[in-house]
Amino acid sequence: MSKKNIGAALTVIVASAAVATAYAATVTDLENDKHTNSLITEENKEVESSRSFVKSDYTKEVKNTKIAGIKRNSKKASQEIKQDIIIEKTAKTLVQPKIVKAEKKAEEKDLKEKEDKKLVAKQEESQDKVVSYDDKDLDDLIEEKAQQEVKDVVSYDDKKIDDLSSNKAKADQAPVATQKQVEKKVQVPVISDKFVNVPTLNIRASKDATSSTNIVRTIKAGDKLVGHVEGNWFVTTEGYISLAHLANYYPQDLVNQIKAQEEAKRLEAEAKKAKEAKAAEEARIAEEARKASEAKKAVEAKKAEEAKKAAEAKKAQEAQKQQVKQTVKQTIKQTEQVVEQQAINYQAPVGQGAQGAVNAASQFIGSAYVWGAADPNVGFDCSGLTAYAYKQVGVNLPHNSAAQFNNGYAVDVNNLQVGDLVFFSFGGESIDHVGIVTGSDGSFIHASTPQTGVRYDNIFNGSFQNAYRGARRIY
């Protein structure tokens, strides 16, 4: 309550006291009046108790006023007395409690400001008790209420004054009801700031924390809200937020903690992503290596198969050659045996041509190979054997295979006859070996090597066939 209102209230009380004093003086005069005194009963005398709260100096002051000397009108005086009593009682009833309550409110406000810093929960209780007063001045209010009570009280007429106490009792109850109406306050929400004090929090369209259908949106730690408290809820223009999860200060530690957690999650996600990318790259490289390995194995398998086939073909060819060789050897051996037997049983006479030369050469089967020799007692080389054989039938040939190739005339390999000379080249293009044919099948006698000496062979044998260079007919 403002000083102005308090002063107005005190003024009303003083004025009421003055009126009450005047009323007391008038009653005293009435008691001295015989006619009026007969109308006053013992019950009416209780009205005098209203003077108990007025000091003596006010009484003296009122008695000296002009009012005390005015001729009285009993009906009008009764009404004025009743009105003054009502005003006095109304002022005492309304003003005194408001002064006490205003002082109590000031104390509660100081206490609330202290408790608000410590316990947020007490703030709600304190805020619920905040009351705003009507802007109307208190003196106007008192006057208005007094006038209303006067209207509600039964008007005095020509009734006896003993009805005054009954009317006064009714008037005493009327201000009480008016006081309760005046004291009915209108709560004005106190607007304040709050901060979200949990990682996430929902703004709801209604005061129902059990439903998910009333969620307006979700807010996060540190978000600022502006609104007022209603019970366990904080009300904003968007909706309702649970007061238990709000704070009066910015939750820096919680925000820092959440940011640290989010950063840790981000780093963990990046590490996981990098790990997955690395694993994918390693898998790709492994797959490429696997494909390359399979391709290499396929190539190697193909090469191995080709090599195997080549080896098998070569082995088959070698087997075939070996078989041909064995056949040739068998044939040569048989031929040698026949020729040897013939040489034992028959000696060709000198002068019988090519056959005589073959017969002469056949006599030295098994003789030693001696390079540069043409002597039965020493041995022969290839050209030494052929020169010695043809010398026995009267034909002189040079002791050199390349030189002998220039004697006689050439014959086809498919038209060979006994006594024809056959020539080979084992070291290159030039002639370096010679033998004498013993049959049309290609068999011949020659001084082969130091290891084998004079022996039979066949020109169609693999090595001789490859080295074959031609044939000459001498006789």
User: Does some domain include residue 464?
Assistant: yes
Do 197 and 164 reside in the same domain of the chain?
A: no
How far is the C-alpha of 146 from the C-alpha of 314, rounded, in Å?
142
Last residue of a domain, one of 125, 159, 183: 183
Does residue 164 share a domain with residue 130?
A: yes
Residue whose C-alpha is closest to residue 393's, from 447, 439, 432, 347 = 347
- Does residue 304 form part of some domain? no
How far apart are the C-alpha atoms of 229 and 240, rounded to whole Å? 10
Q: What is the CATH number of the domain that holds 237?
A: 2.30.30.40
Q: Phi, psi (5° rounding) for residue 365?
A: -60, 130
* Residue 116, CA distances (Å) to 125, 228, 310 in order: 10, 14, 102
Question: How many independent structural domains does the chain possess?
Answer: 3
Q: Which amino acid would we find at residue 262?
A: E
Is 121 within a domain?
yes
Asked whether residue 300 is domain-assigned, the answer is: no
Cα separation of 8 and 10, whole Å?
Answer: 5
Q: Is 39 helix (H, G, I), strand (E, B) or coil?
A: coil
Can you give the pLDDT at residue 42?
Answer: 43
pLDDT at 404: 95
Kindly list the distances between the CA atom of residue 9 and the CA atoms of 15, 89, 103, 138, 153, in Å, as whole numbers in the listed order. 10, 12, 15, 7, 23
Determine which helix (DSSP H) or strand (DSSP E) holds 179, and give its type and residue range: helix 164-183
At 94 the pLDDT is 57
Q: Is residue 427 part of a domain?
A: yes
Q: What's the CA gap between 207 and 228, in Å, rounded?
A: 14
Helix (H) or strand (E) holding 384: helix 382-391
Active site residue 446: yes
Do 126 and 209 belong to one domain? no
115 and 19 in one domain? yes
177 with 229, same domain: the answer is: no
Amino acid at 268: E
Structural element, H or E, at residue 424: strand 421-424
Residue 433 among the catalytic residues: yes
pTM (predicted TM-score): 0.31
C-alpha to C-alpha distance for 113 and 194, rounded to whole angstroms: 16
The confidence score (pLDDT) of residue 156 equals 39
311, 313, 316, 321 alpha-carbon torsion, rounded to 10°: -100
The catalytically annotated residue of 228, 245, 382, 399 is 382
Residue 139 lies in a domain: yes
Q: How remote is the C-alpha of 406 from its chain's centroid?
A: 97
Q: Indicate whether 14 and 75 sit together in one domain.
A: yes
Q: Which of 165, 183, 201 is the last residue of a domain?
A: 183
Q: Are 203 and 147 within one domain?
A: no
Same domain, yes or no: 82 and 34 = yes
| Phi/psi of residue 287, nearest 5 degrees | -65, -40
Reference 143, options 195, 182, 107, 184; nearest CA is 182
Domain residues for the domain of 94 are: 3-183
Which pLDDT belongs to residue 221? Answer: 95
Give mean pLDDT in consecutive 10-residue pieces for the chain, a chain of 475 residues. Answer: 46 47 47 44 43 45 45 57 61 61 76 69 48 47 54 43 49 48 62 96 95 95 96 96 96 95 94 94 94 92 90 85 71 58 46 85 94 92 95 94 94 93 90 94 94 94 90 91
Together in a domain, 174 and 44: yes
CATH number at 379 reads 3.90.1720.10
User: Which of the following is catalytic: 35, 228, 399, 446?
Assistant: 446
Question: Does residue 268 form part of some domain?
Answer: no
How many angstroms separate the CA atoms of 273 and 280, rounded? 10
Query: Between vectors from CA 221 to CA 218 and to CA 222, what angle results, nearest 5°?
Result: 115
Domain boundary among 183, 210, 241: 183
Same domain for 202 and 141: no
Catalytic choice (35, 228, 245, 433) = 433
Does 423 map to a domain? yes
Q: Is 228 a catalytic residue?
A: no
Same domain, 140 and 67: yes
Same-domain check for residues 66 and 114: yes
